[in-house]
Structure 1
């Protein structure tokens, strides 16, 4: 791991415990001076932008690995259901590293990150719409709402583990059952 990646990894760990961490806090977490941190990132926003980009890359990779286009095209209820479960597991694995990205206000205001988030959310919504057509998910809710529900349950998972009220090893089952209990076709 190069110095830049090591700094980003340390910054992620710090932001996951304190989303308001300053550049000084993140430099300390990385074991470098603030000047060294500024050689790589001129501002906190620049560092957050890089982490936001990496988080979106992981989201996109999760959808690619789950073969969203193939699953959508299949229309197979079992395949769609399993893809949704797999995506929730993958999102939780990504959350372990990028949990702060779920709540950081900068990441919801940087125009290029917002645009890319919208593109990825549309892909996810296409899967959810396929789930509705296949009778896997409730048809009385807009697909985009079902996508927001994914986000909501991930934020709940982050808050539950950050507060120490739920163990990480319980999250996969909690998130999957909560999501499907609320969104499954009736």
Structure 2
């Protein structure tokens, strides 16, 4: 194992971890505004020397990869924090929605990178979230939140699309709780008039 790989395996010291997070947060802000931004621009936004950025991330691609992995971890942790396997299904579903919207608006550039296939950690965490979401939807169906016989994978995809649209609306600093309420209302009630003709 090379020295560089050994260093990557070691736990980061708290001051190093703070520096890394500062750089990643700056990278998210800068790249969300300009996807072609340079390492120098990231360093300036982070308030650190360019050499500090290069010491932590040897290349721009390494920085992008770490940013993607970081956002995927925040995404998975946001879902876990809602206790989707323990909290009452409707409560958990609302909290997952609000938590995920916060991550998707705070880390919009990283979350929108289409690199799941090329980034094993991001792919793994997104797959775990999909499985968690389906478990939560099954619990919701058993609790009477969703109709019996609903295609839960289709419902999940619609739910993801609603979150995606809400995150775009919240990119300018929208209220995650209000957006989560809108997503939930649309998911649970749809756009039709309750009890009205379906037209189908």
TM-score (norm 2): 0.71
In structure 2, C-alpha distance between the alignment counterparts of 1:49 and 1:27, rounded to whole Å: 17
Q: Is 2:121 the counterpart of 1:121? A: no
- Answer whether contact 1:56 1:117 (CA < 8 A) is retained: yes
In structure 2, C-alpha distance between the alignment counterparts of 1:17 and 1:176, rounded to whole Å: 29
Q: Is 2:112 the counterpart of 1:87? A: no
Residue 160 of structure 2 corresponds to 151
Q: Is 2:23 the counterpart of 1:7? A: yes
In structure 2, C-alpha distance between the alignment counterparts of 1:121 and 1:14, rounded to whole Å: 29
Residues 66-145 of structure 1: matches in 2 within 5 Å? 66-71=82-87, 79-107=88-116, 109-145=118-154
In structure 1, C-alpha distance between the alignment counterparts of 2:60 and 2:160, rounded to whole Å: 24
Residue 74 of structure 2 corresponds to 58
Q: Where in structure 2 are there 5+ consecutive unaligned residues?
A: 1-14, 196-200
- Partner SS, residue 24 of structure 2: helix
Number of equivalences: 174
TM-score (norm 1): 0.75
Cα–Cα, structure 1 residues 150 and 7, in superposed 2: closer, same or farther, change >3 Å? same
Higher RCO by CA contacts (8 Å cutoff, separation 6 or greater): 1
How far off its partner does 1:108 sit? 5.0
- Partner SS, residue 86 of structure 2: helix
In structure 2, C-alpha distance between the alignment counterparts of 1:178 and 1:90, rounded to whole Å: 18
Cα–Cα, structure 1 residues 84 and 94, in superposed 2: closer, same or farther, change >3 Å? same
Q: Is 2:183 the counterpart of 1:175? A: yes
Cα–Cα, structure 1 residues 180 and 7, in superposed 2: closer, same or farther, change >3 Å? same
How far off its partner does 1:33 sit? 4.6
How far off its partner does 1:10 sit? 0.8
Return the index of the structure with the highest Cα Rg. 2
CA-atom RMSD in angstroms:
2.8
**The structure with more helix, counted as a fraction of residues:** 1
Residue 76 of structure 1 corresponds to none
Say which is worse superposed, 85-94 or 96-105, in terms of deviation: 96-105
